Amino acid sequence: MRIVLGAVAFVCSAVTALRAQRVAALRWGGDAEGGAPFVEASPGDPTRVRGFDVDIANMIARGLGRDARFVQVAWASIPASVERGDFDIGLSGVEDGPALRSRHAVTLPYFEFREVLAVRAADSARFRRLGDLAGRRVATLGSTRAYDILTAEQRRTGVVPVSYDDDVHPYTDLVNGRVDAVLLDHIIAERSLRRSGGGFVIVAAPVATGHYVGVLARSNAALRDSVDAILRARMADRSLERTFRAWGVWDDAQARHFGRILGDTTSAARVTSDAPRSVAAYVPALLRAALVTLSLSALAMLLAVAAGAVIAAGRVYGPRILRVALTGYVEVVRGTPVLLQLFVLYYGLASVMRLPAFAAAVIGLGLNYGAYESEIYRSALEAISRSQLEAARTLGLSELQILRLVRGPQALRLALAPMTNDFVALLKDSSLVSVITVVELTKQTAIYATNIGSWVVPGILCAAIYLALSLPLARVARRLERRWTIA
Amino acid sequence: MTSALVIRDLRVRLGARDIVQGLNLDVAPGEICALMGVSGVGKSTVLRTLVALQPFTAGSINIGDVALRAGPLPRERALRALRGRVGLVFQAPSLFPHMTALENVMLAPIHALGATRPEVERSARALLAQLGVASRADAFPHQLSGGEAQRVAIARALAPNPSVLLMDEPTAALDPARRGSLGRTLRDLAASGRAILIATHDVEFASAYADRVAVLADGVIVEAGPVALLARPSHDATRELLRFGSDDRESSAARRL
């Protein structure tokens, strides 16, 4: 009995200790893919992170008497993730804005960044302002303030925004001529300039200024207030300045910004940009994106059907060496992720062949699906009975005529149902091409959702559009199939 | 009159088996010859050899002025002349299911012979009319009865205007009334100068409509001559065939009762 009581007491105290430890840890979310100087995997120990946001998180945790624990999260998902309770505070170059403030508890702005233009050195004389880039492609990260600035500019002067999922490729694509400028935070621009060692210049006059903030769940305003107090104290005692200096991002603008914060007793930053736009404002953009999805899918499917037919014919009729080569192609394409294929096609081959993003998307998806189509056609061709082929031969038709007039048309009827299936799958897989800067329906929805801070309405709209695209297709296919099985 | 089809010393190997071991056969223009034998004796193989779907190991085949050589099958391009001279109607009609009856008949003249469409359509409709299925021209194969499908298949085989028509077990799927009608049609086709070789074990049909019979057993023709020989068989294989044929007839008569 005493042993049992002892065991229970031990378990209880262990649970209490664990709970105490959990309370003690400040879970903070950031994206190590964002890299230095924000958050990056430590070169000495890749399981640890470092960067000024890491130092700030540690500073806040110390001020709260807790340990800091890092939680990796994709940058664009930080606000949604903190609201879900995945961590207590998000710190990773999170941009202040009205949408963020309307949905979440936001700390005081701890850093002031400038949105700066980067252009190729040769263009530095003619591209000095955003207005000089009418009709030109300007790259940035999707779902950022810079992207919002570019879309507003698109309506005004016809600048063409190009959205990337990372902040490295905009600059490499600038250097190799795929885009004419990049608009991003000056920290990112300067880092990229150091890395690339030239090839472009940063336009000195900023396009806009913005602030990095910490983001917390809306219900967590009490913790936010404690964090604000800590940040203000670290600004006052200059430890925040030392951190920024250590990471090479301190400048006069920060000094002026800190002065304003410390002189101002209300923590809410003055927000100058316009309020979150309504649902109606996003519908035209979604419909345009749906058109991109549809045309991309249709073109890719066309290519897939053509490639599939050629591969299948080669595998059924071709000499051994061709059959082996085509089988190898099919297996490699089917055995590797389409995402990887898109990356290789767009970025990997950029030094040899500079494909426009849309063309790369069509080719990447088309050749990928072509491998699947070829398997469908091959088995359909092989399903046509020998007596049909022999009857055609005794009539004096050539092999090519037999394929075109007898075997192909019958195989097509067999292939129709799986083909429709593939086209519907392709329609949805086309969302993958946002990684190579094509803004299609899913990407546009993500941008919309980030802007308004909710996935509910954008998600429903997006799903409705996908269904509106795929359901008629399935119906047409069913009708054709019915007609052909009778015939 | 010179023969339309001349087979000399034909040897065919099917897998490990020598299924035809020195076959000799002539068919003259205007003549219906019945190649007879029990099931599995190799009648279909002989027909397939005559249209170069099956290679043969020795002997010779002459169809008009076209000669086929022993050895591997020649390339399809080299068979152009043969294809125009001999038509084969398979046991199962093997019509192309995605085309109408008329399109099935028009396919070869347009694509293999390069004739013009209006001209081909005229003669295709005439052929369908000659075979009694003019009204079914626009029907798809699955809409045709077995007898109609066979007639369309005959029309399709005749469309390139071959001098030799081969038919594999033409009466297998027909009831007695349709057998008679098919027989009369074949007589008409022969009367227009075609040589017709039918592979069959249907003694009744052969007796009624063939000019000559050749009985195939153990890879050779064991007995050949005017159709009257079926009344006085001299070889055991022929007698067996007659017994088998009459059994067949009795059992099918029994089924009808």
Which among B94, B140, B160 is the nearest to A391, CB-wise? Answer: B94
Helix (H) or strand (E) holding B24: strand B17-27
DSSP 3-state assignment of A85?
A: coil
Could B94 and A390 be called an inter-chain contact, meaning their C-beta atoms sit closer than 8 Å? yes
The residue among B95, B111, B166 with the most chain A CBs within 10 A of its CB, best to mutate, is: B111
Could A390 and B53 be called an inter-chain contact, meaning their C-beta atoms sit closer than 8 Å? yes
Question: Any residues with CB less than 8 A from the CB of A438 and at least 6 apart, and which?
Answer: A292, A296, A357, A358, A361
> Is there a contact between A127 and A133 (Cβ–Cβ < 8 Å)?
yes
Pairwise CA distance, residues A487 & B141, whole Å: 8
DSSP 3-state assignment of A139?
A: strand
Angle of helix A357-383 relative to helix A279-317, nearest 10 degrees?
50
Torsion of CA A263, A266, A270, A271, to 10 degrees: 150
The DSSP bridge partners found for residue A210 are A113
Average pLDDT over residues B36-56: 92
Could A396 and B112 be called an inter-chain contact, meaning their C-beta atoms sit closer than 8 Å? yes
Q: Tell me how close the Cα of B38 comes to any Cα of chain A, in angstroms.
A: 22
Contacts of B139 in chain A (CB under 8 A): none
Which among A395, A399, A484 is the nearest to B112, CB-wise? Answer: A395
- Stronger pLDDT, A260 or B177, i.e. the higher one: A260
Which among A394, A395, A401 is the nearest to B53, CB-wise? Answer: A394
Could B98 and A409 be called an inter-chain contact, meaning their C-beta atoms sit closer than 8 Å? yes
CA-based radius of gyration for chain B: 18
Q: Is the pLDDT of residue B49 over 80?
A: yes
**Helix, strand, coil distribution of chain A in percent, nearest 5:** 65, 15, 20
A448 φ/ψ angles, rounded to the nearest 5 degrees = -60, -45
Could B107 and A405 be called an inter-chain contact, meaning their C-beta atoms sit closer than 8 Å? yes
Contacts of A486 in chain B (CB under 8 A): 140, 142
pLDDT in tens, A197-249: 778 999 989 999 999 999 999 999 999 999 999 999 999 999 999 999 999 99
pTM of the model: 0.72
Pairwise CA distance, residues A81 & A368, whole Å: 33
Number of H helices, E strands in chain A: 19, 12
> Is there a contact between B25 and B7 (Cβ–Cβ < 8 Å)?
yes
Q: Which of A292, A371, A376, A298 is nearest to A330 (CA)?
A: A371
Instruction: Write the CA distances from A243 to A35, A107, A388, B169, integer angstroms.
Output: 16, 18, 80, 96
Pairwise CA distance, residues B39 & A436, whole Å: 67
Strand spans (E) along A157-290 = 160-164, 181-185, 200-202, 208-216
**How confident is the model at residue B77, as a pLDDT?**
81
Number of H helices, E strands in chain B: 8, 10
Contacts of B156 in chain A (CB under 8 A): 395
Which among B84, B94, B142 is the nearest to A396, CB-wise? Answer: B84
pLDDT in tens, A248-275: 999 999 999 999 988 875 544 444 444 4
Could A396 and B83 be called an inter-chain contact, meaning their C-beta atoms sit closer than 8 Å? yes
Q: Which residue on chain B is closest to A397 by alpha carbon?
A: B112
Pairwise CA distance, residues B206 & B63, whole Å: 23
Helix (H) or strand (E) holding A131: none
Contacts of B73 in chain A (CB under 8 A): none
Contacts of A487 in chain B (CB under 8 A): 97-98, 140, 142
Q: Tell me how close the Cα of B150 comes to any Cα of chain A, in angstroms.
A: 13
Q: Which residue on chain A is closest to B97 by alpha carbon?
A: A487
Could A393 and B53 be called an inter-chain contact, meaning their C-beta atoms sit closer than 8 Å? yes
Q: Which of A437, A430, A380 is nearest to A409 (CA)?
A: A380
pLDDT in tens, B76-110: 888 888 998 999 999 988 999 999 999 999 999 99
Question: Any residues with CB less than 8 A from the CB of A357 and at least 6 apart, and which?
Answer: A162, A178, A346, A433, A436, A437, A438
User: Taking CB atoms and an 8 Å cut-off, how many pairs form between chains A and B?
Assistant: 64
Q: Which residue on chain B is closest to A413 by alpha carbon?
A: B98
DSSP letter assigned to residue A405? I
ipTM: 0.90
pLDDT in tens, A30-74: 988 877 788 888 777 777 888 999 999 999 999 999 999 998 888
pLDDT tens for the 487 residues of chain A, in order: 566 566 666 555 555 555 544 557 999 999 888 777 888 887 777 778 889 999 999 999 999 999 999 988 888 888 888 988 889 999 999 999 888 898 899 999 999 999 999 999 999 999 999 989 999 999 998 888 899 899 889 988 889 999 888 888 899 889 988 899 999 999 999 988 988 877 899 998 999 999 999 999 999 999 999 999 999 999 999 999 999 999 999 999 999 999 998 887 554 444 444 444 566 777 888 898 999 999 999 999 999 999 999 999 999 999 999 999 999 999 999 999 999 999 888 888 877 887 888 999 999 999 999 999 999 999 999 999 999 999 999 999 998 999 999 999 999 989 988 998 899 999 999 999 888 878 889 988 887 777 676 788 889 999 999 999 999 888 888 888 777 765 4
**How confident is the model at residue A33, as a pLDDT?**
80
Helix (H) or strand (E) holding B221: strand B220-226
Contacts of B97 in chain A (CB under 8 A): 410, 487
**How confident is the model at residue A485, as a pLDDT?**
65
Which among B76, B79, B94 is the nearest to A387, CB-wise? Answer: B94
pLDDT in tens, B105-153: 999 999 988 889 999 999 999 999 988 999 999 999 999 998 899 999 9
DSSP 3-state assignment of A91?
A: strand
Q: Which of A153, A134, A201 is nearest to A174 (CA)?
A: A201
Pairwise CA distance, residues A433 & A59, whole Å: 40
Encoded amino acid at B177, one letter:
A
**How confident is the model at residue A16, as a pLDDT?**
55
